[in-house]
């Protein structure tokens, strides 16, 4: 029996949960303190090379740079919206790095850090927020599903996928991402029931960033989220979501347990959304500046940098090279974004069905014909195409 599969002890609520009959705040699983001090945990150890540590830092720094650039691009009108991951880099990179290549991840719409680790091109994520498509990457090739915007819907997909893995007798684990707000959704609770009932190889990775847009966690749950797992009949664990090492260790253990047939685990990564919910949000309306200042002291990147510097694992040259690489990435993202071309109008008709219907083919033809009627006028769209001889137009 692994540490994960011991009975979950009933402890106390999150700070401010207004449930005084419950005892004190539980310990988080932590391997790196906010000050950058490496500590041990009795249940979770991490055997990690210096190369890997530096590469974790690189991921965190590059992902943050991507995020900052995307926010700027939105402010400049190049993106319709951006959902920032600022502050959640360690939770995402740690969870993503715990995945094996053959594992499958089901993100929400904020898992840019996981996308990065899975090898998804940032521009294929940006294209969604620019309105060019609904996500340009290949979910099968990357093992990273497309973003799901309806809150919590992907937890059922992950569970069903894991049921397929069971039927295939595959050595694959599934990682379902969700946020604290999503834990109130019926579908998320159904996914936990399904996963438990069928002992599906799925790990639920909940980034508790303390807010569902503006509504604080106290409005979603009276108990710490990881304790919910006990009620469904599988282990729950709370990890310091700003500690990339702890997240990596805990997620690896949970995924290994899933692959070994021990069923699901619920991980609550305790973190903080340092930015707005999205670029359309104004967090000053619902949270105090002092709270943000407090969380800045627990910054996920600063603590790893402190550890790497102090222990001599990385030096100035290394950090400078990462900074330079981050700047190059930002330039590539900026350039790729502004150069991104709009999709051709008729493309909206093309993948509604695997087998096109005559009705929709006729609508497509009408659309093309209508726009072609402006061919010499100012309304003409340069990207219009008329159906070729091989195309199925009714």
Residues serving a catalytic function are 273, 277, 286
Count residues contacting another protein (CB under 8 A)? 42
Per rule CB under 8 A, is residue 109 in the interface with another protein?
A: no
DSSP string, 109-178: S--HHHHHHTT--HHHHHHHHHTS-S--S-HHHHTBPPP--STTHHHHHHHHHHHHHHHHT-S--EEEEE
Q: Which of 121, 187, 218, 325 binds another protein (CB under 8 A)?
A: 187
Q: Toward another protein, which CB reaches closer, 161 or 226? A: 161
C-alpha atoms less than 13 angstroms from C-alpha of 379 in its C-beta half-sphere? 7
Per rule CB under 8 A, is residue 12 in the interface with another protein?
A: no
The β-bridge partners of 382 are none
Q: Toward another protein, which CB reaches closer, 331 or 352? A: 352
Q: Toward another protein, which CB reaches closer, 51 or 168? A: 168
The set of residues, in sequence order, having a beta carbon less than 8 Å from that of 258 and lying 6+ positions away, is 162, 173, 174, 201, 202, 203, 264, 265
Per rule CB under 8 A, is residue 121 in the interface with another protein?
A: no
Q: Which of 8, 30, 88, 159 binds another protein (CB under 8 A)?
A: 159
Q: Which of 37, 78, 190, 325 binds another protein (CB under 8 A)?
A: 190
Binding part of the chain for another protein, among 81-89, 149-157, 241-249, 364-372 by CB under 8 A, reads 149-157
Q: What are the tokens at 205? A: 């990775």
Site pattern 314..353 for another protein (x: CB under 8 A): ------------------------------------xxxx
The set of residues, in sequence order, having a beta carbon less than 8 Å from that of 84 and lying 6+ positions away, is 67, 70, 71, 110, 273, 275, 276, 278, 279
Q: Toward another protein, which CB reaches closer, 37 or 187? A: 187
State the minimum distance, in angstroms, from the CB of residue 159 to another protein: 5
Q: Which residue has the tokens 């979770």?
A: 44
Q: What are the tokens at 366? A: 């009408």
Per rule CB under 8 A, is residue 233 in the interface with another protein?
A: no
Binding part of the chain for another protein, among 54-62, 95-103, 130-138, 279-287 by CB under 8 A, reads 130-138
Per rule CB under 8 A, is residue 101 in the interface with another protein?
A: no
Per rule CB under 8 A, is residue 164 in the interface with another protein?
A: yes
Binding part of the chain for another protein, among 118-126, 131-139, 298-306, 370-378 by CB under 8 A, reads 131-139
C-alpha atoms less than 13 angstroms from C-alpha of 111 in its C-beta half-sphere? 32
Per rule CB under 8 A, is residue 148 in the interface with another protein?
A: yes
Per rule CB under 8 A, is residue 135 in the interface with another protein?
A: yes
Binding part of the chain for another protein, among 63-71, 152-160, 221-229, 303-311 by CB under 8 A, reads 152-160
User: For residues 226 and 267, what is the distance between their CA atoms, to the nearest angstrom?
Assistant: 6
Dihedral, CA of residue 237, residue 241, residue 103 and residue 176, to nearest 10:
70
State the minimum distance, in angstroms, from the CB of residue 190 to another protein: 4
Cβ atoms of residues 155 and 204 within 8 Å: yes
* Strand residue runs (E) in the chain: 104-106, 174-179, 202-208, 211-212, 215-216, 236-240, 265-270
Per rule CB under 8 A, is residue 83 in the interface with another protein?
A: no
Residues at the site binding another protein, with contacts judged by CB under 8 A:
133-135, 138-140, 145-146, 148, 150, 153, 155-168, 186-187, 190-191, 193-194, 197, 350-355, 357-360
């Amino acid at each position: 029996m692994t540490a994960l599969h011991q009975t979950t002890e009933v402890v106390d609520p999150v700070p401010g949960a207004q449930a005084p009959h419950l005892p004190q705040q539980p310990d988080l699983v932590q391997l790196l303190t906010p000050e950058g001090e490496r500590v041990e945990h009795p249940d979770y150890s991490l055997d990690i090379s210096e190369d890997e540590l530096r590469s974790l830092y690189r991921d965190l720094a590059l992902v943050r740079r991507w995020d900052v650039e995307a926010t700027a691009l939105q402010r400049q009108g190049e993106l319709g919206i951006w959902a920032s991951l600022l502050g959640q880099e360690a939770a995402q990179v740690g969870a993503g790095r715990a995945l094996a290549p053959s594992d499958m991840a089901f993100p929400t719409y904020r898992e840019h850090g996981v996308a990065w680790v899975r090898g998804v091109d940032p521009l294929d994520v940006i294209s969604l927020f620019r309105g060019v498509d609904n996500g340009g990457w290949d979910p099968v090739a990357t093992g990273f599903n497309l973003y799901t915007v309806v809150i919590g819907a992907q937890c059922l997909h992950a569970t069903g996928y894991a049921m397929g893995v069971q039927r295939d007798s595959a050595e694959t684990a599934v990682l379902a991402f969700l946020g604290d707000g999503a834990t109130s959704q019926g579908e998320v609770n159904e996914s936990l029931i399904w996963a438990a009932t069928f002992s599906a190889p799925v790990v639920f990775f909940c980034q508790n960033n303390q807010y569902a847009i503006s509504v604080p966690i106290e409005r979603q749950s009276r108990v710490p989220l990881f304790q919910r797992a006990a009620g469904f009949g599988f282990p729950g664990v709370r990890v310091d979501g700003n500690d990339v090492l702890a997240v990596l260790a805990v997620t690896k253990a949970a995924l290994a347990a899933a692959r070994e047939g021990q069923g699901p685990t619920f991980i609550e990564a305790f973190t903080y959304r340092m930015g707005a919910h999205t670029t359309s949000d104004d967090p000053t309306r619902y949270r105090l500046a002092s709270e943000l200042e407090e969380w800045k002291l627990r910054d996920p990147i600063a603590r790893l940098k402190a550890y790497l510097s102090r222990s001599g694992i990385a030096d100035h040259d290394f950090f400078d090279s990462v900074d330079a690489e981050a700047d190059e990435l930002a330039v590539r993202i900026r350039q790729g974004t502004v150069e991104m071309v709009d999709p051709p109008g008729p493309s909206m008709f093309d993948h509604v069905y695997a087998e096109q219907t005559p009705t929709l083919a006729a609508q497509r033809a009408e659309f093309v014909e209508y726009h072609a009627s402006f061919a010499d006028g100012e309304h003409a769209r340069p990207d219009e195409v008329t159906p070729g001889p091989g195309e199925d137009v009714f």
